[in-house]
Amino acid sequence: MASKIDLHTHSTVSDGVLSPADLVLRAVERGVCALALTDHDTTAGLPAAQEAAGICGVVLIPGVEISVTWSGRTFHIVGLGIDAENAALQNGLARIRSIRRQRAREMAHKLERAGMGSNLWAEVCELAQGELVGRAHFARLLVRRGLVRDPNEAFRRYLGSGRPGCVEVRWANLDEAMDWIHQAGGSAVFAHPLQYRYPSAVLKRMLEAFVGAGGDAIEVVTGGSNAEQIAAATAHARRLGLAGSLGSDFHTPDQPWNDLGRISPLPECVTPVWKRWSWLPETCLTEWL
């Protein structure tokens, strides 16, 4: 199970553990020919990734992942093929980053009050190596402090919804996130639809709102997807007239089931999202399918 196309990945610029250049090198080693870097709320890793991709002969698709709050629930939109210079996109992302930073500060306080030790904020900032601090960084910190065995346990006991370190925030509105991506010339992809574990009626309404707001595609294949999940996502794509995308959601080599390119190919009955990218050489991705 391997794909030469991987359109959802993270670097140290958000909550991944490889630098943008190292991410590209690992992609090459693993046989990935077209890679999208889709860090949470930031495009700061794109120049370094683009430079490495140019040297290695990888097609780099500029991307970003935006958290959206819709009807009190969160889902993620991946923007692919974006112009990272676009002012509407950058202003929007800057606002979301400030919300994320405020959330992280509050999480550090709450976790300290819950007995996780002191100096959490300084240490999580050091671990994050940058401006963006997410829940995955707190999970790694709790593992490092020996408070949990692995990041999953950290989410289950301390970071997940309703747990002691959880801080609820309002992310972007659906319409504005869509607008930022489209103003930047990108395609809006509903990310990992089956990972949220929402009741199917909720997911269905969410997807319909996404389509109503102008959404372009849905991630039919994500890291760890089994055949049943791919079939379910394919059915959503076809029912809603959405194109399909695929991506591992790679964060770290420590999670081999999410490694770069370790995903099934896109089913043939789904229109690939890149069909609408006129800037990409016609045969480029299709021959790698």
Which parts of this chain interact with Mn ion (CB under 5 A)? 15, 65, 76, 191, 249
Minimum Å gap between C-beta 26 and Mn ion is 16
Q: Rank residues 69 and 284 by Cβ distance to Mn ion and give the closer one.
A: 69
Minimum Å gap between C-beta 15 and Mn ion is 4
Minimum Å gap between C-beta 58 and Mn ion is 19
Beta-carbon count within 10 A of 236 CB: 19
Question: Per the structure block, which two tokens stand in for 207?
Answer: 């997807």
Question: Per the structure block, which two tokens stand in for 166?
Answer: 């959880």
Q: Rank residues 76 and 97 by Cβ distance to Mn ion and give the closer one.
A: 76
Beta-carbon count within 10 A of 162 CB: 6
Question: Per the structure block, which two tokens stand in for 228?
Answer: 């049943």
Helix (H) or strand (E) holding 234: helix 227-240
Q: Rank residues 112 and 224 by Cβ distance to Mn ion and give the closer one.
A: 224
Q: Rank residues 168 and 282 by Cβ distance to Mn ion and give the closer one.
A: 168
Minimum Å gap between C-beta 283 and Mn ion is 28
Q: From CA 247, how far away is CA 147, in angstroms rounded?
A: 31
Strand partners, 243: 217
Helix axes 174-183, 87-113, angle to 10 degrees: 140
Largest CA distance in the chain: 56
Q: Are strands 187-190 and 59-70 parallel, antiparallel or unpaired?
A: unpaired
Q: Rank residues 86 and 248 by Cβ distance to Mn ion and give the closer one.
A: 248
Question: Per the structure block, which two tokens stand in for 95?
Answer: 């606002």
CA-CA-CA-CA torsion sign (198, 199, 202, 203): positive
Minimum Å gap between C-beta 246 and Mn ion is 13
Q: Rank residues 166 and 284 by Cβ distance to Mn ion and give the closer one.
A: 166
Minimum Å gap between C-beta 8 and Mn ion is 6
